[in-house]
Amino acid sequence: MAMETMGESPRSPEAKLGMRVEDLWDVQESQLSPTEKLNACFESIPVSAFPLAPSNQEIEIKSDATLAEAVKLLALHNVFSAPVVDVDAPEDASWIDRYIGIVEFAGIVVWILHQSEPTSPRSPSTPSSAKAIAAAANGANFALELEALGLGSAATTAGNFFQDLTSSELYKNTKVGDISGTFRWAPFLALERSNSFLTMLLLLSKYKMKSVPVLDLGSGRIDNIITQSAVIHMLAECAGLQWFESWGTKKLSEVGLPLVKGNQIIKVYEDEPVLQAFKIMRKKRVGGVPVIERDSKKTVGNISLRDVQFLLNAPEIYHDYRAITVKDFLTAVRSYLEENTNALPMLSEYVTCKEECTIKELIQLLDREKIHRVYVVDDEGDLQGLITLRDIISRLVHEPRGYFGDFFDGVLPLPANTRV
């Protein structure tokens, strides 16, 4: 039964969906645990019931689009990833032939960073090496161009490097299709409209997908794309419903959060070169890191892979820097955003919560701030842990034994040389 806080009308599509869960919750067998009840509820609802993504975020990227065009398109629509359509596929192609994968903004960035790392002279070049990938993508001169730009040394990278990069043949001519099979290139794993919410939630949490396309098999095209952020927004809209409150009023520690403890968090110092910070994120396979002041050891900011958009979309703001440190980067971006108030998406800020915070308060914070991670701090402000959207979704449901069966058998295999 909904509490009074849900009394406002009209309710959002997400809140109506929450009420559908509520109706199912009320008829579950009493001996089931709350988690088992939620699993049963979400297993009973098809993903076709999930509210559609905003129309401005429904984009597809053609395989012959350049990296520059893809980055601009993703930034323009304020999305981090998009399905890639094979331009060579016939008009009547099935979905499995029409879509060749999902390209992430972070994947483009990581690929560019990889090109900056010269292969060891002691080891022979392999098809997965930067130079070999480059040669295959755009001819042998492609690999040499980055070398000429001076990207090899993160410590000495000048501010005008990013202007040089974005006006280079490397950036303007390499196609999205050329980088399939490289870093963070996701196979096209899609759900049918009849698949369950539980399947979708498990893919977004335990199976580490950031977004899940939903297919209309009749047309062979994408009907919706459900993201981790969209799920968190749905949960925020369910505040006041009994099923949500029974889970959401628990403290973080009661549901096993944070999963990442303070001593496990990857950090960068504000006087480090920003390019080095992004390379650390690539190497450690993390989406963001806190920025630490070297003398005080206090956290002064946050930087994430998605922030590289500012290096690519507005490189002129770094032109006067001899070398760009993390502090320079954050200062320059904040100044840029003050002058360009319509710039999207915003810089990912350092947002914290206390250890005694509840799941409900955390979800509302993440939804309100439109962020993907929150740092858990103690009363002195010292880092105690890190919580991501995926962590929260993983605490909502669990995977029943043998649940997926042969589900993954129909998934396209990862392309050769893939590094997920």
Asked if 98 and 86 touch (Cβ cutoff 8 Å), the reply is yes
When the pLDDT of each residue in the chain is averaged and rounded to a whole number, the result is: 80
Percent of the chain, pLDDT > 90? 40
Contacts of residue 173, defined as CB under 8 A and 6 or more positions apart, other chains included, come to 66, 138
Residue 61 in this model has a pLDDT that exceeds 80? yes
Asked if 63 and 85 touch (Cβ cutoff 8 Å), the reply is yes
Residue 56 in this model has a pLDDT that exceeds 50? yes
Mean pLDDT, residues 35-49: 95
Rg (CA), the chain: 22
Of 145, 147, 116, which Cα lies nearest the Cα of 130? Answer: 116
Residue showing tokens 């390209």: 103
Query: What does pTM read for this prediction?
Result: 0.82
User: Which pLDDT band, with edges at 50, 70 and 90, does 199 fall under?
Assistant: very high
Buried b vs exposed e over 378-412: b needs ≥16 C-beta within 10 Å? Answer: eeeeebbbbbbbbbbbbbbbbbeeeeeeeeeeeee
pLDDT in the model for residue 168: 76
Query: Virtual CA dihedral for 229, 328, 72, 306, nearest 10 degrees?
Result: -30
How many whole angstroms separate alpha carbon 362 and alpha carbon 253? 12
Percent of the chain, pLDDT > 70? 77
pLDDT in the model for residue 420: 34
The answer to which of 54-63, 110-119, 236-245 has the lowest mean pLDDT is 110-119
pLDDT tens per residue, range 272-297? 988 888 888 878 888 899 999 998 88
Of 417, 405, 362, 364, which Cα lies nearest the Cα of 385? Answer: 362
User: Which pLDDT band, with edges at 50, 70 and 90, does 129 fall under?
Assistant: very low
The answer to which of 32-41, 143-152, 184-193, 395-404 has the lowest mean pLDDT is 143-152
Mean pLDDT, residues 326-335: 87
pLDDT tens per residue, range 134-190? 333 333 343 444 444 444 444 445 556 666 777 777 788 889 988 876 644 555 688
